[in-house]
Amino acid sequence: MGDKDIYPVWEQYYLKHTTGQAPIRFKFEPGQPVRISIVQNGMDKAHRGTYSEEIYTIHTRIPSNPPGYKLRDSMGRDIQGTFYESELISSPDHPDTEYRVDKIHGKRKGPGGREQVLVSFVGWPPDNQSWVDKASVRT
Banded model confidence at residue 132, pLDDT cuts 50, 70, 90: confident
Report the pLDDT value the prediction gives residue 114, as an integer from 0 to 100: 86
Its pTM stands at 0.61
Tell me what pLDDT residue 103 has: 86
Torsion of CA 124, 45, 50, 93, to 10 degrees: -50
Question: Would you state the pLDDT for residue 1?
Answer: 61
Number of other residues whose CB lies within 10 A of the CB of residue 58: 21
Q: Give the count of beta carbons closer than 10 Å to the beta carbon of residue 133.
A: 13
Would you say residue 137 has pLDDT above 90?
no
The CB-side HSE value for 112 (13 A sphere, CA atoms) comes to 3
- Residue 126 has phi, psi (to 5 degrees) of -60, -30
Of the listed ranges 9-13, 64-68, 69-73, the least confidently predicted one is: 9-13
